[in-house]
Structure 1
Amino acid sequence: MVKVTLGSQTLAESGATIVVEGNHYFPPSSINKDLFTDSATHTTCGWKGEASYYNVKAEDGGIVTDAAWYYPKTITDRAKPVEGYIAFYKNKVQITE
């Protein structure tokens, strides 16, 4: 089971993550959607496609910007397994395996 926390809040928890390039990608059903808001940030990966980002609400009312990302529509068959799955920046949240 892999768990992502921010302070005492659980952002995601799953035994069914997919690891790509050292990052755990979580199934969409495993995140606490109440703590996420859409970000305007987008980046592009040459083999996964365009990534969208989420901001995360902190316990103190603050916002951690661009703490997580996902690929709404992947562009290669190799990336298809993580389509719609959410990954987190290790320097913005705590990830325990």
Structure 2
Amino acid sequence: MKAVLNGTVIAEAPQDDLVRIEGNWYFPPAAINADLLVKSPTQYTCSWKGECQYFSVKDGDALLQDRAFSYPTPYPASFDRVGQDFSNYVAFWKEVTVTA
């Protein structure tokens, strides 16, 4: 599967390596092109996953605010709900398209 923004691949991995949580595909850390992500100061805490880290995504010279997110240290109880450890896996939204 791929996460693509305007023809640029931001992440790519076999579907079996991804985790699906609440309708979002989360890519493993090794599948991410980290050069295209910039940590965002936006704060959010999910009641069952824990503290979220948002990232802005580089699109040429533009920076699209908060288009990716991750849970660096999810609550341990969330692993049971998801079925595996998803620490630092990254999901995308808005203009970033995830396709098979």
TM-score normalised by L of structure 2: 0.87
Instruction: Indicate which of 67, 78, 85 corresponds to 1:81.
Output: 85
Equivalent-residue separation in structure 2 for 1:78 and 1:51 (angstroms): 13
Equivalent AA in structure 2 for residue 41 of structure 1: T
Runs of at least 5 residues in structure 1 that lack an aligned partner in the other structure: none
Q: Runs ≥4 in structure 1, deviation > 2 angstroms? A: 76-80
Check conservation: 1:47, 1:76, Cα contact below 8 A. Answer: no
Match of 1:94 in 2: 97
Residue 51 of structure 1 contacts residue 69 of structure 1 at CA under 8 Å; is this kept in 2? yes
**What pairs up with 1:31-50 in 2 under 5 angstroms?**
31-50=32-51
Deviations along 1:72-96, one digit per CA (max 9) or x if unpaired, are: 111133336211110111x221111
SS at match of 1:81: coil
In structure 2, C-alpha distance between the alignment counterparts of 1:3 and 1:18, rounded to whole Å:
13
Displacement of 1:42: 1.6
Structure with bigger helix share is 2
In 2: Cα distance, 1:32 partner to 1:85 partner: 12
Cross-structure match for 1:66: 66
Secondary structure of the residue aligned to 1:34 is helix
Q: Which amino acid aligns with 1:81?
A: D
Instruction: Give 5+ residue unaligned stretches, structure 2.
Output: none
Distance 2:88 2:21 in 1: 14
Percent of matched pairs sharing the same residue: 37
Tell me the matched-pair count. Answer: 94
Distance (Å, rounded) in 1 between the aligned partners of 2:36 and 2:97: 15
